[in-house]
Amino acid sequence: MSQAGYVHGSTDEREVARLEKQADFTAGFTFSTLGLEAGQRVLDLATGVGAMGARLQRPGLHVVGVDLSATQLGAARKNHPTLPVLRGDATGLPFADATFDRVHCSWLLEHVSDPVAVLREVRRVLKPGACCQFVEVDNATLQLTPPSEAVTTLTRLLNDAQVRGGGDPFIGARVEQVFAAAGFERLRVERQQLVGSAAEPRFFQAFVDEFAEIYEGLDESLGADLAPLIARAAAEIRALLHTPHASLRYTPVVVQAWR
């Protein structure tokens, strides 16, 4: 199994609510380019609590979610009973070759020790000419204006924990190599810097909440002694909303790759 140390907490109510909210945020900049059409078979890989899988569902589309974690899948079954989910490892998927028209996958590759093995497997289950979409992190792109020492320190600790667990918090910077190594020849990589500022108050609020809530969920995995730092980082990132000329920037990486 290739799951690296998973740094984002468990499936308590707070974490499930965070993942559901995050899914609205992620769906907002990903699904429109996926080319979903009635009749397609769609895999939501690493579906977790089923948040993205449920948002992919629409009449005529056959969506199935897969995840390694039985606990996450328990929450998916409870909260999204119409979403079929299966337990499976992304490096050995329980599907025949050429099963899917689309594979969506958000925030997985940062957590696995062998992303190329995952992508080879995704390529195997895609129909010829079909495509997958991956949404990935590049934590080096996080930028607060004005800067926050607490956020910088916490981000470093989070990144270190992920690397120690076998993952890569900067995977977004090298997706071209990773997808090519898995045999994908046709790629579209989007690195669109998201900017939260007073110019768009609703987006700014959602963007700030997204990070603050990630931080607030880290006490479990990074250790209770970090609680004061976590509280400071969350408070300082939230303070951006009330600071003149403040901004929050982050560049997620969205990859579309065709078999």
Ligand X SMILES: C[S@@+](CC[C@H](N)C(=O)[O-])C[C@H]1O[C@@H](n2cnc3c(N)ncnc32)[C@H](O)[C@@H]1O
Q: Does 182 participate in binding ligand X (rule CB under 6 A)? A: no
**Residues ≥6 apart with Cβ < 8 Å to 151:** 142, 144, 211, 215, 233, 236, 237
Q: Does 72 participate in binding ligand X (rule CB under 6 A)? A: yes
- Per-position x/- string for 6-45, each x denoting binding to ligand X as judged by CB under 6 A, each - no binding: x-x----------x---x--x-------------------
> Rounded to an integer, what distance in angstroms lies between the CA atom of residue 77 and that of residue 253?
29
Q: Which of 112, 137, 229, 257 binds ligand X (CB under 6 A)?
A: 112
Q: Do 126 and 100 touch, CB atoms closer than 8 A?
A: yes
Output 108 or 144, the one with its CB closest to ligand X. 108
Q: Which of 16, 27, 51, 241 binds ligand X (CB under 6 A)?
A: 51
Number of residues forming the site for ligand X (CB under 6 A): 24
* CB of residue 185 to ligand X, shortest distance in Å: 24
Output 93 or 150, the one with its CB closest to ligand X. 93
Q: Does 257 participate in binding ligand X (rule CB under 6 A)? A: no
Q: Which of 68, 103, 137, 237 binds ligand X (CB under 6 A)?
A: 68
Token digits for 26? 């992620």
Q: Which of 67, 136, 210, 236 binds ligand X (CB under 6 A)?
A: 67
Q: Does 65 participate in binding ligand X (rule CB under 6 A)? A: no
Measure Cα distances from 129 to 37, 44, 123, 180 in Å: 15, 18, 10, 16
Give the amino acid at 188: R
Token digits for 258? 């065709």
**Residues ≥6 apart with Cβ < 8 Å to 58:** 36, 38
Q: Does 108 participate in binding ligand X (rule CB under 6 A)? A: yes
Q: Which of 64, 90, 161, 214 binds ligand X (CB under 6 A)?
A: 90
Candidates 172, 153, 143; CA nearest to 222 is 153
Segment contacting ligand X by CB under 6 A, of 68-76, 124-132, 157-165, 239-247: 68-76
> Rounded to an integer, what distance in angstroms lies between the CA atom of residue 28 and that of residue 50?
16
**Residues ≥6 apart with Cβ < 8 Å to 98:** 124, 125, 126, 127, 128
Segment contacting ligand X by CB under 6 A, of 89-97, 157-165, 170-178, 204-212: 89-97
3-state secondary structure of 227: helix
Binding positions for ligand X, rule: CB under 6 A: 2-3, 6, 8, 19, 23, 26, 46-48, 51-52, 67-69, 72, 89-91, 106-108, 111-112
